[in-house]
Amino acid sequence: MDKAVRHFQEELELLLARLLEMGGLAEERVRDAVQGLVTRDPALIEKVKYGDEPVNRLHIEIDEWCFRLLALHQPMATDLRAIVSAVKINTDLERVGDLAVNIAEAAQRYASHPPVKKLIDIPHMGNVAQAMLRDALDAFVRRDTRLAQQVLNEDDTLDGLKTQVFRELLTYMLQDPSTVEPALDLILISRHLERIGDHATNIAEDVIFMVSAQDVRHHTAGGG
């Protein structure tokens, strides 16, 4: 292996480590946002609401790094796909950070009303979405298409929970108008969590595309 190639592989590994760090941060923000909602903890909610800076800084840093690697090393085939996938995944993770802010904003409004109900399905959705995100990133780094496929399958779980949350809250809203506002925020939060799952799905699709150069997108209804 010549020196330039080794140097590129080292750079690529550092880049992937940084992307994992960003994934960890994004995931932590989702966890904190849902935790803030459940415990009605104003400090935790504020932390998420105003703590977007580190993720945004990493987003720019990783994006520029990808371009530098592309421009300097002009990688071929697999490495090229890995870096363009990193650009996309970086965008997905930044959006996850934004969605954590959206959840925190809704959680703040929700906390200004009496609780509509004991929250069970929404924290469950939060756990599923976080696990999907973690698995998708693991699959990316390990080039593990089987794990990526598992992430795609999990999306149905999230979709089912979202529908269940919606139906249940609708019942509350129809019976008692005082629940309309807080229930609306819970519905929005469940949609934000569903979208976090969508981003994990995007990452998983990129992994399968990158490894097998086979395009799994649009082969199932609804996805993407």
Q: Footprint of its own copies on this chain (CB under 8 A)?
A: 52, 56-57, 59-60, 63-64, 66-67, 70-71, 74, 76-77, 80-81, 84, 87-88, 91, 94-95, 98, 101, 170, 173-174, 177, 180-181, 184, 187-188, 191, 202, 215, 217-218, 222, 224
Report the SS3 class of residue 115: coil
CB closer to its own copies, 64 vs 156: 64
CB closer to its own copies, 52 vs 138: 52
Residue appearing with tokens 């809250």: 169
Smallest gap, in angstroms, from Cβ of residue 218 to its own copies? 4
CB closer to its own copies, 31 vs 59: 59
Report the SS3 class of residue 38: helix
Would you say 59 and 93 are in contact if contact means Cβ atoms under 8 Å apart?
yes
Measured N-to-C along each axis, helices 121-142 and 180-212 cross at an angle, to the nearest 10 degrees, of 20
CB closer to its own copies, 20 vs 188: 188
Take residue 216 and report the two structure tokens written for it: 């799994």
CB closer to its own copies, 17 vs 72: 72
User: Of how many residues is the chain composed?
Assistant: 224
Whole-angstrom Cα distance, residue 120 to residue 124? Answer: 6
Residue appearing with tokens 């598992």: 150
Smallest gap, in angstroms, from Cβ of residue 177 to its own copies? 5
Residue 94: count other Cβ atoms within 10 Å of its Cβ.
21
Smallest gap, in angstroms, from Cβ of residue 114 to its own copies? 16
Would you say 99 and 30 are in contact if contact means Cβ atoms under 8 Å apart?
yes
